[in-house]
Amino acid sequence: TLAPGFGPHLGLPQRADDLLDVGSPFDYPANGLIYCASRLPRPTDPRWADLAIEELAALVEAAGGRTLALFTSYKAMDRAVDALRERLPFPLLAQGEQPKQALVERFSRDPETCLFATMSFWQGIDVPGASLSLVTIDRLPFPRPDDPLLQARREHVGDGAFLAIDVPRASTLLAQGVGRLIRTSTDRGAVAVLDPRLATARYGPKIVATLPRMRRTRDRAEVEAFLRELRGAGSAAA
């Protein structure tokens, strides 16, 4: 999840160093699909929250549960839990209801369970196998504007601070969240980003370039069909 050019962010001088990218042992194009809900309004639109929950519900239904839903705030997570816990026909676990390890163990153990969580679950979660077929991310994880360290960095950079500071930070966090999906060479699944800016904003290609090279789509029908295919394969294997 370290992007090229990260040296200056650590205070290292810019030099003509060679960069070696050894790639990944995982076949991302064959085993993974990234979907961006580009038809949704931007998260600043008052309609976005309810429409994103509807999008999430449809995707979880297609996946048959088996979903790690990641949120950038507790408020967004709680809203989704309240809206979907009684609506979805699958067990729904939420961060804060049990210790983190207990939630992960139950999610890993019980097929068709969903786990809704915030930023502390974007890293260090390892759930290989069919228990996790779908990772959803509610919005691009841009840092808080009032973070004092990042504020100082923005002031130091001046013009262009958003592209130099905020976009790389969001790219790294998003890549870490996406990385919860494919954990072994046999894992298959989809990532759904419910923030249309990934596909429509001018900085979107910079963020996409940091993600694993999975197939990409803006067509919800395509990702739903892929998730149903995985669900059927999992049922047949069981």
Report the C-alpha gap between 209 and 205 in whole angstroms. 6
pLDDT tens digits along 35-72: 999 999 999 999 999 999 999 999 999 999 999 999 99
**Tell me, what's the pLDDT at 185?**
87
Confidence (pTM): 0.88
Token pair, residue 41, equals 């309004």
Token pair, residue 82, equals 């309240």
Report the C-alpha gap between 181 and 188 in whole angstroms. 8
pLDDT tens digits along 85-141: 999 999 999 999 999 999 999 999 998 999 999 999 998 888 988 889 999 999 999
If 0-12 CB within 10 Å is exposed, 13-18 middle and 19+ buried, where does residue 159 land? exposed
Q: With a cut of 90, say whether residue 147 has pLDDT above it.
A: no
Most confident among 142-146, 171-175, 191-195 (mean pLDDT):
191-195
Average pLDDT of the chain to the nearest whole number: 89
Of 206, 82, 190, 80, which is closest to residue 142 (Cα–Cα)? 206
Q: Determine the angle formed by the axes of helices 48-63 and 220-237, rounding to 10 degrees.
A: 30
> Do residues 167 and 111 touch, judged by C-beta distance below 8 A?
no
